[in-house]
Each structure stands twice: as structure tokens, then as C-alpha cells.
Structure 1
Amino acid sequence: MRTNAAEILLHPQRLAILRALTQSELTTKQLAERLSDIPQATLYRHVALMHDAGIISVVSERKVRGTQERTYCLGPAALLTQEAFREATPEDHYRYFTTYVAGLLDQYGAYTRRPHLDLEADGVGYRDHVLNLTDGELRELLAEIRGAIAARADNAPAPGRTPRLLSTITMPIDHPTGDTK
């Protein structure tokens, strides 16, 4: 099994660690509190592996009761490059996508286990939209979506703000006539 960043990163528990670190810099103790469903020893192994791979970085260290407490942030290898995706086999892509969807299911499962659900008030939704687009129209749409997200990506946590997961999946589907273009 390869141990490139994609192989390391695309694991449900490691994705949960990555997702937590996209929200703020955290110590391993804080990660353990936020990700209480991951056994502590497993969490420490994942953090060490992700650190060694450059997926997460240490931003500070301090002594706490005789041990070094590290605070982590996202590292340079946290984002998969286009090259990594180009080099992946179709089987790799299917496995990556399956892992990605499993992570979404975990997040949705955690949401549905909350004591009081209000999908409308929480802004929860999932929809499919089939759009007939040229390649240029698709690029334009994706640029608009990325722009809307980028305009809000640096919003700091604040009273009244809730971390929200917005996931996108885009792919061509078979045309009713059998044409894909």
C-alpha cells in the first residue's frame, strides 16, 4: 500500500482530524475532546502519521506537567495536489470517493444523534440538480461557487456563527440517449 499524502489523508478518522483543524489550531487533548469517538491511542497514532507526512504542522509547544503539549494546524500537504489526483488509478479514485462519502455519512450521523433536530432551522439539506452545461459553463459555475465560498472561508468563529459543512460533488452522468457529451 502506498503511503503518499492521499493515502494517509483519505481515511475517515484522519479526515475528522483534518476537518477539526480547519476550524482552529488545536492540541491533541483538544482533538481528543472534539473527536471523542476516536480512541485516544488511535488518535495519537493518526496525529503522528499526519505530522510526519506534513499534513499537519506544530505551531507551538509548551510544557504541561513534564510533557510537551503541541498545538497543531494544517500543514503544507493537507490539500491534495492535481498531480496526486492525476497519478491515482481509477480504483484509487473510487476508494478515495468512498472514503469521502463515508466521512459525510459520519458527519450526518453525528448530526442526527443530536437531541433536538430542526433541519430547516439548521439549514440542513441534500439535493441533486442535473444541469446541462458545456465544459465552459461548468467551469464558470464552479468558479462562482468557489468565489462565494472563498468570500466566507475566513469568517472567524463568533457568537451566532455555527461551523457548517458544505460538500460538493460534481460529475457527468449518462445522457438519456447514451451520449455523455
Structure 2
Amino acid sequence: MSEQKADLILHPVRMRIIQCLIGGAPKTAQQLQELLPDVPQATLYRHLKKLSDANMLAIAEERPNRGTVERWYTLPERAAELTADDLRAASPEDHLAFFMKFASHLIGQYGRYVRKPGLDLLADGVSYRQIALQLSDEEHLRLLASIRELFAEAARNEPSPERRNRLYSVIAFPE
């Protein structure tokens, strides 16, 4: 498996850049900077270059802007996903490392959220829970497909004054 691909996707800053581009319109580095104000500008540009060089981001458009070229970044379909072959080729140790990076990223995001002034978990609809379900393989795949369909529909929502960015993380595995 291409550990490089997993490392590219699962890096905390690159994962946040990818999330900003999922299902949305192309964005400039400046727009991404506004969405990720805690990421230094030089760091953002370095990670945009790394993702672009790896073909995980595409340049949708380039526009001249005050003596420089403004790039509009987009996420090619499935570019930021590990393939079935990638997953099959990974060792158990690789999978644990991938999961730890994912969990670490999730903890970092939650940490940023709970440190915000005026924290109100109930009003914000914060939830974390685990549920054990008795499902056949077929039922499990149908459930995952339904969840993905709902997420894909919601990912097409454009930002608006009444909307805010909400993070959902799904982890599913048999016991």
C-alpha cells in the first residue's frame, strides 16, 4: 500500500484542507485561510502544494490577481480516499497507525471546539455515542450506503447565514 497516500490524507492540516473542499465549490488559498484561521499562511501553502503535487487537489482555475496567479483548488472525486487495494495491502500495524492518526485528528478538532468561548454542547447539538447493532453483511452495507447518501446530499449544501460547519465522524467495524 502507498503509505505515502495514507500519510498525505491523514496529516492533520491536510485532512482539514480536504474537508474544506469536500462537496463544495473550488476555493482559493485565501478562502481556505479564512476557513482555517489557526493554520499559518506559509503552512497552508506548503500543504496545498504537497496535495497538488500528489494529484490529490486539482487546480480548477487560475486567475491573474495583482501581479500573481490566484489558483482555485478543487478536490477530484475519490482523490482523498484510500482504495480497497490500499486497505488490503496495509498491515495490521499500518491500520493501527492510520486509525491513531485519524483519532488524533478528531481529538484535535474537538479540543478546538470545546475551547471556544460560550461553549454550549446542547445548543450546538454535540453528540458522541456508540451503538452495537446486529447486522448481516448485507444489512451493514445497506446502512453504510444510506449514511453515505445522506452525507453526500448534505455536503452539497452551500454556506449560508443559518448554516454552520458541523463535523460527523463515522467509525464502523465488527466486534
TM-score (norm 2): 0.87
The question of 1:118 aligning with 2:120 is answered yes
Question: Per the alignment, in what secondary structure is the counterpart of residue 170 of structure 2?
Answer: coil
Deviations 1:38-61 (A, max 9, x none): 232222111111001111111111
CA distance in 2, matches of 1:53, 1:123: 36
The question of 1:135 aligning with 2:159 is answered no
Letter in 2 for 1:137: E
CA distance in 2, matches of 1:38, 1:26: 16
**Residues 36, 155 of structure 1: CA spacing in aligned structure 2 closer, same or farther, 3 A cutoff?**
closer
Give the stretch that moved more between structures: 120-129 or 38-47: 38-47
Shift of 1:3: 6.0
Look up the match of 2:93: 91
Give the stretch that moved more between structures: 97-106 or 150-159: 150-159
CA distance in 2, matches of 1:142, 1:151: 14
CA distance in 1, matches of 2:84, 2:149: 19
Q: Quote the RMSD (CA, aligned, Å).
A: 1.9
**Residues 156, 36 of structure 1: CA spacing in aligned structure 2 closer, same or farther, 3 A cutoff?**
closer
Look up the match of 1:107: 109
Rg larger in structure: 1
Asked whether the 8 Å contact 1:6–1:80 carries over to 2, the reply is yes
Look up the match of 2:67: 66
Asked whether the 8 Å contact 1:54–1:78 carries over to 2, the reply is no
TM-score (norm 1): 0.84
Asked whether the 8 Å contact 1:21–1:74 carries over to 2, the reply is yes
Gaps of 5+ in 1: 174-181
CA distance in 2, matches of 1:12, 1:70: 22
Aligned length: 172
**Residues 39, 158 of structure 1: CA spacing in aligned structure 2 closer, same or farther, 3 A cutoff?**
closer
Look up the match of 1:10: 10
